[in-house]
Amino acid sequence: MKFYNREKELNYLKTYVQLEPNAILFVYGPKSSGKTTVMLRVIKELENSNIVFFYYDLRRYATPTIEEFLEIFFEESDKKYLLNKLEINLKIFKFGVEKKFDFNNIKLNNIFNKIYEGIEAVIKDGKKPILIIDELQKLKNIYFNGGKSLLNELFNLFVHLTKVRHLCHVICLTSDTLFIEEIYRNSTLKNASEYYLIDWLEKETIKKILKEEGFSEEEVNYASNYLSLPYEITQLINNKKLGLSVEETIKQWINIEKDGLMYLLKSNKDRKENLLKILSKFNNKIKVSIDNFEDEIFDDVKFLIENEILFYDVINGIIKPTSIIEWWAIKEVLK
């Protein structure tokens, strides 16, 4: 997919990874807002610099077990870090472990020592290590010896690597804002974490892109009232080539989201009244402050967030639909 106008975000992250590590960075935003695309672009543009990127996209794997986690993060090698042979088009690395390393009797401290050794080896080679984990929350339910939570212990390691020793940037990408809320409220990470929002594309940016792609003034003005995500632009271009009008495509998208929302409401009759009460707050506005949601319905708000109808920007205290298309679908349901 073409890389659409994310210069501000790209420049922020390219600058950030070259500063001294001082906190864990959480890059968050609505699903499909372009977080991964921007991060991969950062890696690509800096691949010939002195930075070594350890990048793990956990979305490409089923929710991992302990054994699978080890396979994802480590490679048997006599080197402390090595190129990820599964990523032929991207210069990213994995942590190395010696062939005699016993994965069957592994302890959490052994794992952390291997990560630490890999990072120190990068620094010894005169380079800067950057650890990036996409959808880190997928490690939530992995527990090690004595019931230790892998994720909680990883956060302690990340704080040590960033805030305490300033050895390595740690960047976590997620669209799960309930997970971000857990992190934001976590006293262990207070003053040890930072947050960067990659949000919808701006309306003027969308108009500019569509004009560059050859859409008429009328098509641009119509589409810009409905689009918000980069992948929607790509799909709109493809559908036009396939003979579908802009209006047909957008109406189809709204109907799909509307049908999905109707099904969700019918499948949850016990909470339907509360769900409609929540959705009605978006009838005339696209962003609503969290303060406008009563305590007794907040579990239902979370239900809509979990089902990717709503997006919770915990840092700014705002709740909104996951996309502008979703907003129009909500308005259709409320008619």
Can you give the pLDDT of all 335 residues of the chain as single tens digits?
Answer: 466 668 999 999 999 999 999 999 999 999 999 999 999 999 999 999 999 999 999 988 777 788 888 888 999 899 999 999 888 788 999 999 988 777 667 788 888 999 999 999 999 999 999 999 999 999 988 888 778 888 999 999 999 999 999 999 999 999 998 999 988 888 889 899 999 999 999 999 999 999 999 999 999 999 999 999 999 999 999 999 999 999 999 999 999 999 999 999 999 999 999 999 999 999 999 999 999 999 999 999 999 999 999 999 999 999 999 999 999 999 999 99
Q: CB count, 10 Å around CB of 127?
A: 14
Question: Domain map of the chain by residue range?
Answer: 7-197, 203-333
Q: Please tell me the predicted confidence (pLDDT) of residue 3.
A: 64
Nearest to 240 by CA among 255, 223, 256: 223
Q: What is the pLDDT of residue 144?
A: 82
Q: What CATH number does the domain located at 203-333 have?
A: 1.10.10.10
pLDDT at 171: 98
Q: What is the pLDDT, as a whole number, of residue 103?
A: 67
Total count of residues recorded for the chain: 335
Q: What is the pLDDT of residue 2?
A: 60
At residue 88's C-alpha, the angle toward residues 47 and 17, to 5°, is 25
With vertex at residue 268, the alpha carbon angle to CA 318 and CA 185, rounded to the nearest 5 degrees, is 35
Residues 173/133, Cβ–Cβ less than 8 Å:
yes
CATH class in words for 7-197: alpha beta
Give how far Cα 294 sits from Cα of 176, 197, 260, 289, 308, Å. Answer: 22, 26, 25, 11, 20
Chain position carrying tokens 């209006």: 247
Closest CA to 177 of 162, 197, 159: 197
According to the model, what pLDDT value does residue 89 have? 83
- Report the C-alpha gap between 37 and 297 in whole angstroms: 35
Pseudo-torsion of CA 243, 245, 246, 249, nearest 10°?
-80
By the 8 A CB rule, do 146 and 152 touch?
no
- Enter the pTM of the model: 0.93
